[in-house]
Amino acid sequence: MKNKIVAAMFEKIADVLEFQGEIPFKVNAYRKAARVIGEMQEDIEDVWREGRLREIPGVGTALATKIEEYLTTGKMTKYEDVVSSVSADLIELLEIQNLGPKTAALANKKLGVENLNDLKRVIADGSLAKLPGMGEKKVENIQKGIELYERARARISIGVALPLVEELIAELKSRTQVKKIEAAGSTRRMRETVGDIDILVETDRGAEVIQAFVHLPNVTRILAAGDTKGSVIVGDRIQVDLRAVGKESYGAALQYFTGSKAHNVHLRGIARKNGLKINEYGVFRGEEKIGGEKEADVYHVLDLVWIPPEMREDRGEIELAAQNRLPHLIELKHIKGDLHVHSHWSDGKATIAALAIEARQRDYRYIAVCDHSKSAKYAHGLEEEQVLEKIEEIKQIQENVPDIKILSGAEVDILADGSLDYPDEILAQLDIVVAAIHQGFKQRATERMLAAMENPYVFILAHPTGRLISRREGYRLELEKVFQKAAETGTILEINSYYDRLDLSDVNARRAKEMGIKLSINSDTHELAQLDAMKLGVGVARRAWLEPEDVINTYSLEKLLKLRDEKRKGR
């Protein structure tokens, strides 16, 4: 698939054009096309062959010609022209906060700034501050931006952002009298990573609340503090923005600051066509305010049903909302069990009894204890005879916890030759077999997975792509083939809820659903508290538009085991 490459080229063109002072609308046209193509499921080459490039939203005659040129010749003249006109170092400077295209261009033209070192130099010698429109404070802010940039401020995981948001909200509640307070932005949309954290608060004393916010104990730097907006750095690099609004605007502000940007731009376009205006204070017809206290107002005035935050990415949800055909998304309360947790038998910390009791407290009906297999030495994988011992222990523990079913399971390694780490005689005695690659990521990963799925005892394929969000790309995989085999054999694909995995991702999980594959959302717990990771997996599932029926651990135990037996018998 060349989708990502084309998207990256358009993105780059947009960056350069912006730097060169091209009108923002043209820049945005490239950015929009880049986003749509980057997220598109269909192979852009297929779309092109079928003559449907122009049907891609945001692609008109000019961009279609450029895509065609690239797909035919492997080159895009516009891209090469644009990129060669400005050095890459210079474009990268736009990543620096408080330094935008105008200032970068000015510094380049007047002072010959070509890269980060040049920029530091003109700051140090004071020449940047002397340029027209510049001054000490502006330069100081750019300097701060450079410091942040050099700390390689990456996006943080949703698994880190959520607890931090909860802590900040609790602190703020204890220090001020706020009526409502909640996270907005990509945190609310449950994106797998979050750039900045956005928090929205309802109050009629905005300035006071903002002051309290920027002086919270964890705040290390204040970026801005006005009457309605405060912006700070928490710890050494996480930016948190707080917005304060009154009751009459809370819903509109929540909608606005939840985004995504693409979703909101689309909504505003519809509003304009209907003679309405939407902003963070409400919905307006001329001077008259016709909504904004409730978030749903914003959607209802446009004849749309309310759209769950996780779907707000402008990936077709607005069109569905107009027809009242939104999916009924899965919720945490639908989850009836966790099919991938580890106990102290391998590398987990908790006992099986503790896991069962803790799961019961979450209203689960079943839990599958899947410890590592013998080849996973680093994780104290179990030898065959230990597996049998563990099955016996589960039988005994089960007698003391009658109201939750403890399923004996294993997370079985898929070995280098595609065979499994236990013989079928052992697998047959387990209730749930989860298979996964843990070693030799780059060796024939696709073939090994296909072979593993052919085994009738392999019910679930765990963390199918193997990516670690903060650290590694994932197996070299032909995902389309893996999905086809899963659909063919009735193998379940996992959404692993561990914050650094979230694997399958939202986009991949949505593709799996479209191919008729069932999924399982599992916590991959290694200690009791990690059972709560389930909510992250559910977030991914909601972003993938999954409904309860798509996810097997919303099923009753009977229905779940029936599905497993169908795979065992062969379809």
Partner DNA sequence: GCCGTTTTCGGCCCGACTGTTTTCAGTCG
Q: Spell 75-97 as b/e; 16+ CB within 10 A means b.
A: ebebbeebbeebeeebbebeebb
492 with 460: CB under 8 angstroms? yes
Q: Within 501-560, which residues bind DNA (CB under 7 A)?
A: none
Strand ordering across the sheet containing 288-291: 277-279, 282-285, 288-291
Least distance to DNA, CB of residue 312, Å: 14
Is residue 154 helix, strand or coil? coil
Task: State yes or no: residue 97 binds DNA (CB under 7 A).
Answer: yes
Which of 265, 388, 416, 428 forms a contact with DNA (CB under 7 A)?
Answer: 265
283 with 252: CB under 8 angstroms? yes
Which of 163, 269, 316, 516 forms a contact with DNA (CB under 7 A)?
Answer: 269
2 vs 229 by CB, closer to DNA? 229
222 vs 428 by CB, closer to DNA? 222
203 with 209: CB under 8 angstroms? yes
Least distance to DNA, CB of residue 292, Å: 12
Picking from 363, 353, 355, the residue whose alpha carbon sits closest to that of residue 331 is 363
Which of 7, 30, 190, 233 forms a contact with DNA (CB under 7 A)?
Answer: 30
Which of 264, 465, 508, 554 forms a contact with DNA (CB under 7 A)?
Answer: 264
| Structure letter (DSSP) for residue 134 | -
CA distance 275 to 287: 11
In this structure, the dihedral spanned by the alpha carbons of residues 37, 42, 44 and 47, taken in order and rounded to 10 degrees, is -120
Task: State yes or no: residue 235 binds DNA (CB under 7 A).
Answer: no
Task: State yes or no: residue 246 binds DNA (CB under 7 A).
Answer: no
Residue 392 token pair: 């016996």
Task: State yes or no: residue 388 binds DNA (CB under 7 A).
Answer: no
511 with 543: CB under 8 angstroms? no
Task: State yes or no: residue 60 binds DNA (CB under 7 A).
Answer: yes
Which of 62, 154, 388, 416 forms a contact with DNA (CB under 7 A)?
Answer: 62
Task: State yes or no: residue 299 binds DNA (CB under 7 A).
Answer: no
Please enumerate in sequence order all residues whose Cβ is within 8 A of that of 463, keeping only pairs 6 or more positions apart, or say none.
436, 494, 496, 498, 501, 503, 524
Which of 7, 34, 76, 99 forms a contact with DNA (CB under 7 A)?
Answer: 99
Is residue 462 helix, strand or coil? coil
Task: State yes or no: residue 288 binds DNA (CB under 7 A).
Answer: no
Which of 25, 377, 402, 403 forms a contact with DNA (CB under 7 A)?
Answer: 25
Picking from 297, 180, 347, the residue whose alpha carbon sits closest to that of residue 247 is 180
91 vs 357 by CB, closer to DNA? 91
Least distance to DNA, CB of residue 384, Å: 55
CA distance 12 to 390: 55
Least distance to DNA, CB of residue 535, Å: 24
Least distance to DNA, CB of residue 109, Å: 12
| Structure letter (DSSP) for residue 502 | -
Which of 6, 9, 93, 96 forms a contact with DNA (CB under 7 A)?
Answer: 96
31 vs 467 by CB, closer to DNA? 31
| Structure letter (DSSP) for residue 552 | G
21 vs 423 by CB, closer to DNA? 21
Task: State yes or no: residue 289 binds DNA (CB under 7 A).
Answer: no
Rg of the chain over CA atoms, in angstroms?
26
- Residue holding tokens 């065979």? 419
CA distance 203 to 181: 9
Task: State yes or no: residue 164 binds DNA (CB under 7 A).
Answer: no
Q: Within 107-136, which residues bind DNA (CB under 7 A)?
A: 129, 132-136
Task: State yes or no: residue 286 binds DNA (CB under 7 A).
Answer: no
432 with 369: CB under 8 angstroms? no
Task: State yes or no: residue 290 binds DNA (CB under 7 A).
Answer: no
Least distance to DNA, CB of residue 26, Å: 4
145 vs 440 by CB, closer to DNA? 145
- Residue holding tokens 């989860």? 434
Which of 219, 225, 305, 332 forms a contact with DNA (CB under 7 A)?
Answer: 225
Task: State yes or no: residue 198 binds DNA (CB under 7 A).
Answer: yes
Residue 443 token pair: 């060796």
Interacting residues with DNA (CB under 7 A): 23, 25-26, 28-30, 33, 54, 57-64, 78, 96-104, 129, 132-141, 145, 185, 196, 198, 224-229, 239, 241, 257, 261, 264-265, 268-269, 272-273, 275, 277-281
